[in-house]
Structure 1
């Protein structure tokens, strides 16, 4: 007799997913930026405002290669990711894709949702004919960096500093990671 497995999957997001994506995003950002952003900024994040933006984005993406993927547990959104062409000045928007956002509900991490999303992002970017993928993460996020390193991502030397509040009071240093989407490993090159 086999043990039952959880009903988990990743699929392209639908317009009806906007509110659930927004709820995960706000919860994840409140957790991720708790030590960075002022408490009043985090408290003012309203999932309804985020949902309206997601509805518009899902209905009219800026580029045909922009994709939103959701990680599901049964029919509940547990995480999401956004892919599209890379936009950094030193990248090629034809050959380089990007994971623009990767968030998992903090109460449901370490259950495979992030791994499934990263794999689905790579497959989606490859299907969109990108040869390389990049993503940005806070330079202090050793957990996420380790997670992505295990999935074949590595720093490419690029770094930046973001001004999260627009007034210079909250800055986040980020590093860029990359991975080859061609499916070839170093021994095949």
Structure 2
């Protein structure tokens, strides 16, 4: 394997981050989302959104590379209180210490090479430096690959679910939670 690394994203990475997002969603979510939703994904719009996020937040964005190629990315930051709240909407006692990993994607052709773990570890380290201790992420319940990834990272479903309107089709998501004190196996 070529040299793999993770680094903080720069505005110039937005075009590759958008490409990875569109490519990954169209491949990995073709059974979860309607075709017209996937066909309507706009790379230029995604690029502008990611450039704004990289430059102004609220999340920090990290990119994974292998050799000269961008292969994945993660976005994480302080969780809004409504995202970390209990299922009944009650704020959790540690709300000021919860990070939201809003997106973690590795392009399918680069999967199973450790990039996802490196991305999560880098984001977790940054969030710990910000005083956060626990993370959450929303994962499509039917996305078995992602559910497996989070489980291998030691995260588990916390019993909170939500259903989104995915182009007229319901998409059930499970909230995963776990520690930000992650160690990669050598």
TM-score, scaled to structure 1? 0.84
Distance 2:17 2:181 in 1: 30
> Structure 1 stretch 45-54 or stretch 6-15: which is displaced more?
45-54
Contact 1:85 1:93 in 2 (8 A): no
Instruction: State the 4+ residue runs in structure 1 displaced beyond 6 angstroms.
Output: none
Structure 2 unaligned spans of 5+: 86-91
Matched, 1:80 2:73: yes
The residue aligned with 1:33 is: 29
Structure 1 unaligned spans of 5+: 184-189
Cα displacement (A) at 1:50: 1.1
Matched, 1:181 2:180: yes
1:32-181 equivalent positions in 2, closer than 5 A: 32-61=28-57, 63=58, 66-87=59-80, 88=83, 90=85, 91=92, 92-165=94-167, 169-181=168-180
Q: Which has the larger radius of gyration?
A: 1
Aligned length: 173
Contact 2:20 2:106 in 1 (8 A): yes
Distance 1:98 1:146 in 2: 18
Contact 2:125 2:181 in 1 (8 A): no
Partner SS for 1:52: helix
Contact 2:84 2:95 in 1 (8 A): no
Q: Calculate the aligned-residue CA RMSD, in Å.
A: 1.7
Cα displacement (A) at 1:180: 2.2
Cα displacement (A) at 1:49: 1.9
The residue aligned with 1:187 is: none
